[in-house]
Amino acid sequence: MTGSGAAAGAATRAADYLAQAGVVPVVVVSSADQALHLADALAAGGLTGMEVTFRSAAAAAAIRAVTDARPGFVVGAGTLLTTASVDAAVEAGAHFGVAPGTNPEVLAHAASRGLDFIPGAATASELDRALALGADVVKLFPAEAAGGVALIDALAGPYPHARLMPTGGIRVDDLPRYLSRPSVLACGGTWIAPRDLLEAGDFAEITRRAASAADTVRTIRDNARKEHHHGA
Where in the sequence numbering do the catalytic residues fall?
51, 139
Indicate the burial class of 76 (C-beta count within 10 angstroms; 0-12, 13-18, 19 or more): buried
C-beta separation of 98 from 51 below 8 A: yes
Contacts of residue 60, Cβ cutoff 8 Å, sequence gap at least 6: 54, 88, 89, 91, 92
Which DSSP letter does residue 52 get? E
Which DSSP letter does residue 147 get? T
Q: How far apart are CA 117 and CA 41, in angstroms?
A: 26
